[in-house]
Amino acid sequence: MPVRDAVFEDIEEICTLIEEHAVYEDNHDLKLDRAEMSGHLFGPAPKAWVLIATPPGEPGTVAGLAFCSWSFSTWEARPGIWLDDLFVRPAHRRYGLGSELLDELSNRTSGRVEWDMQEGNEKGKAFYAQLGAEPVPGWIRYRWRP
């Protein structure tokens, strides 16, 4: 199966993929603390979880990830999934791995799957539209940092 749950031994690949995604988005300064991330994902009280995509015929190769956490909608009265990061390495694109990651997320909840996308990401916009996803009109995301 090309999509699987990440395990503790995947922490280096997970962090490397996130850093590669940052570089792809022109952020060359992101360097993650592997031990800290490991605690957030695999510690006694995990805060997030990851799905790993592997290309067909290459079971040891990590091609991409979906980095997620649970959300909850009071108006729908059910849990959903917040997709914080979806990234497939450029060499493994166009094989359906991004779609498989998103399909697996939709299979894990009866609620909504939501994510943000940077403005101007025309490739992402086309990809999500092809899947039937739509932007949420009338909502503006706010962020408050300590």
Q: Which residues are catalytic?
A: 128
Nearest to 49 by CA among 127, 131, 108: 108
The DSSP symbol for 75 reads: T
5-12 contacts at long range (C-beta below 8 A, 24 or more positions apart): 5/49, 5/50, 5/51, 5/52, 6/41, 6/49, 6/50, 6/51, 6/52, 6/65, 7/42, 8/38, 8/42, 10/50, 10/52, 10/62, 11/37, 11/38, 11/41, 11/42
DSSP letter (8 states) at residue 9:
G
Two tokens, residue 71: 């959300």
